[in-house]
Structure 1
Amino acid sequence: MNANEEGDDVISVGLQHVVEASSHWLELFDKAFGQEGVPFQQRPLKAAMWLVKDGILEISGSSKEKYWSQPWFTEIVISITTWYKDRYGAAAFASEKDYLGGVILLRGTPVRLDIRRIVDKVQIEGETAWMIYPDAIHESESTLTFFASKPKLDSLSTADQAKLVANVATIVSRTRRINLALQSADILTPEGQRLRDGVWVHVEQAVNNIAGLNSAVASIGAWELHLAVEKAFKVFLLQHGNPNLKALGHDMAQLNTAAEARGLNVDPSALKKLPHWKKASRSRYSQDEMALADVVAIYDVALQLMAEITEKLSREVVLNNAGFLLKKPDWV
């Protein structure tokens, strides 16, 4: 599979040599990843996406449309993974523990959930495995998969078990869909990229605060969650031509009004359940301490809103439930 040569930046050799021919691109991409703090395990796929978008103009015998589903794209990911292992050493990719944090009430106590970004499924032991980007609970997972403590749930009533299973499924699905959308959001200025990268940082901080089981510390999470929703709104607004974000400040009502004018409609009842930004801000100084269960309720609403907002983001590629069959995938 060869690309047509039409300039210095066009890959013009066989696909098996694509990495050697595009090393200058990969150097530039990796420098940017380093500045953004992108984890090693996420770099090969991200670099492959950027390379196809900016470094390859044409693939003879194929098309760049929906490139992530093309067999040749998998080969590029494999080649770039090898390039990265040579660059940083295989050990940097051998222990993929890339989890997204979540929190849920179990018997009235907040408990942390660990949600894998990527699910790996071995096809042939020691030879090939699927790398999958699920947007919900994968068939290989169960409710207990996400509890590091592996609690026994038999003592829960049938109704409580059913409620827990449904809540875990909702949290996992929203968490994965939010992050898949943020990961591939396009048409972003440097400001938009910083806002996008900050969304989940705030959620993780809130989860850590809540899981510490100290109500004063957990209350600070209300502000973190406010900032996460706020930044999700602002990423959407930047994509849709509203660069004057400072005028909107932290006011969720104003942000929602601006977003509605650009076609985004979130659940108004969910929006009303978020504390006013001034109240959430005061929680940083333990002036408005909240009960743990109340902060978890805010987390649930914030997750719902972020899922609704990010679903409407313009995206470079849709990776939901995409799978790549890789050879000897040490890095996953």
Structure 2
Amino acid sequence: MSVPTDFEDALGESLDVIDRELAKDEVPLRDRPLRAARDFVTYCVMQVAVGEEITEPGKFLDYMASDWFKAIYARTIGWYTARYGQAVKSGSGKSHTGCTLVLDTPFAMRIPVVTKRPGQPGETIWVCFPKQVEDDEDPLEWIVDGPNVRELPRSDGLKARRQAIEIANAVRAIVTSIMAIELPTTRVEGMRDAILPHLDRAASLIARDRPEERKHAQWDLQMACELALKLLSEQRSGSFKESHDLYHLYDSLPDGPSPFKRTVLRGIPNWQLMAEWRYGGGPAISTAQAFARYRTALKVVAGVGAVAEHKLRFGGARIEIKRAPYLHEDPEMYLPRRRAATDEEKA
């Protein structure tokens, strides 16, 4: 190992070792930056000089609001971003994957389901749980590697925006309803936790725009709908029918408000065909068919979420909280250094 020439180099070499250990301990990537910054202080920082005073760092609660730790944490975020890119922010539950069409071409969306708004400057922030697209949001900006919608004919641009709004509204409604339902049994909790991953995966597969991926997405759509109906039955009666048939599950629901009209299920093929597609068999599926079934699955799950019993309803809620004391006021000044251009790039 080379001798580091400045603090940033020393921090980077230490973070490399720390990150490898955190990975071995299976610490989720999104949780590593703060853990790594704290570990760096614990194992690498012997003394801190503030003005003429020299002290030991102490415990986390002693130093978390200090200027020097804010700088370390901001640099740590920059280091992780340089190593892992936007993956550092994924998996936090603050966004979910959707799928939309632009000019009949599928694209993935990263739909924020928890947003932040400024509160008292430097003191607080508002954490928001929007249940639909808000007036100052543009869901076209959430399309991953999307086309330049501004260059489309006006009618196509408006259609793309309407479609993106519909999908984003559905995903947000599902998150704010499904994640807050009453959990009378562990089975309800388990089924609830599996629904959103199935919808996320189906959206990602459809967005890849490949025939075989569209087939594989069908089973995820089937499972999202199936789990939603079984969840509602389990919540209402403590049991559910052991069946993959969505019509049978719908007809077997215990008494209570209907989640959606039975005819909605016409948009989902029978489960035997869905199972064939799961293993790559069955007839070819067009993009339009796959997307239509995705929209139907969103309606099914959203319908269940709307009529299920809830321990609370937080759709549209806004909570003002204190800003984390270890966040730097200007973290962008600690973004990773830009690498030097190669001779080929200079040319």
| 287, 302, 311: which one aligns with 2:306 | 311
| 83, 100, 107: which one aligns with 2:103 | 107
Partner amino acid for 2:105? T
CA–CA separation in structure 2 for the residues paired with 1:112 and 1:122:
28
Task: Identify unmatched segments of 5+ residues in structure 1.
Answer: 1-36, 42-81
Is 1:214 equivalent to 2:210 in the alignment? yes
Is 1:167 equivalent to 2:163 in the alignment? yes
Is 1:277 equivalent to 2:287 in the alignment? no
* CA distances 1:180-206 after superposition (whole Å, capped 9, x unpaired): 112111133111111110111111111
**TM-score (normalizing by structure 1):** 0.68
Is 1:189 equivalent to 2:185 in the alignment? yes
Following TM superposition, the consecutive aligned residue runs of length 4 or more in structure 1 with deviations greater than 4 angstroms are 94-97, 329-332
CA–CA separation in structure 2 for the residues paired with 1:161 and 1:318:
34
Q: Is the 8 A contact 1:129 1:329 kept in 2?
A: no
CA–CA separation in structure 1 for the residues paired with 2:118 and 2:146:
23
Using a 3 Å threshold, how does the CA distance of structure 1 residues 134 and 40 change in structure 2: closer, same or farther? farther
Q: Is the 8 A contact 2:126 2:320 kept in 1?
A: yes
CA–CA separation in structure 2 for the residues paired with 1:281 and 1:138:
38
After TM superposition, list the pairs within 5 Å mapping 1:16-35 onto structure 2. none
* CA distances 1:189-246 after superposition (whole Å, capped 9, x unpaired): 1111111101111111112211222111221111110100110111111111151432
**Corresponding position of 1:251:** 245
Q: Which moved more, 1:206-215 or 1:153-162?
A: 153-162
Shift of residue 306, structure 1, vs aligned partner: 1.0
Using a 3 Å threshold, how does the CA distance of structure 1 residues 290 and 268 change in structure 2: closer, same or farther? same
**Corresponding position of 2:323:** 328
Is 1:232 equivalent to 2:197 in the alignment? no
Partner amino acid for 2:124? T
**Corresponding position of 1:140:** 136
Partner amino acid for 1:283? W
Q: Is the 8 A contact 1:184 1:316 kept in 2?
A: yes
Give the percent of matched residue pairs that are identical in Structure 1 and Structure 2: 20
Q: Which moved more, 1:156-165 or 1:132-141?
A: 156-165
Using a 3 Å threshold, how does the CA distance of structure 1 residues 150 and 124 change in structure 2: closer, same or farther? farther
Q: Is the 8 A contact 2:98 2:108 kept in 1?
A: yes
Using a 3 Å threshold, how does the CA distance of structure 1 residues 265 and 327 change in structure 2: closer, same or farther? closer
Q: Secondary structure at the match of 2:320?
A: strand
CA–CA separation in structure 2 for the residues paired with 1:151 and 1:277:
35
Q: Secondary structure at the match of 2:241?
A: coil
C-alpha root-mean-square deviation of aligned residues, in Å? 3.0
CA–CA separation in structure 2 for the residues paired with 1:330 and 1:99:
24
Using a 3 Å threshold, how does the CA distance of structure 1 residues 129 and 140 change in structure 2: closer, same or farther? farther
Q: Which moved more, 1:274-283 or 1:132-141?
A: 132-141
Q: Which moved more, 1:213-222 or 1:94-103?
A: 94-103
CA–CA separation in structure 2 for the residues paired with 1:328 and 1:172:
28
Q: Secondary structure at the match of 2:98?
A: strand
CA–CA separation in structure 2 for the residues paired with 1:109 and 1:237:
37
Q: Secondary structure at the match of 2:230?
A: helix
Task: Identify unmatched segments of 5+ residues in structure 2.
Answer: 1-27, 33-60, 78-87, 328-347
**TM-score (normalizing by structure 2):** 0.65
CA–CA separation in structure 2 for the residues paired with 1:217 and 1:232:
23
* CA distances 1:233-285 after superposition (whole Å, capped 9, x unpaired): 11111111151432xx1111111112274331413332111111111110011
**Corresponding position of 1:286:** 280
* CA distances 1:102-136 after superposition (whole Å, capped 9, x unpaired): 00111221100111121101124432211000000
Q: Secondary structure at the match of 1:135?
A: coil
CA–CA separation in structure 1 for the residues paired with 2:148 and 2:163:
17
Q: Secondary structure at the match of 1:103?
A: strand
CA–CA separation in structure 1 for the residues paired with 2:281 and 2:146:
35
**Corresponding position of 1:14:** none
| 250, 257, 268: which one aligns with 1:263 | 257
Partner amino acid for 2:142? F
Partner amino acid for 1:271? L
The structure with the largest alpha-carbon Rg is: 2
Q: Secondary structure at the match of 1:259?
A: coil
Is 1:177 equivalent to 2:173 in the alignment? yes
Q: Is the 8 A contact 2:101 2:163 kept in 1?
A: no
| 289, 295, 316: which one aligns with 2:290 | 295
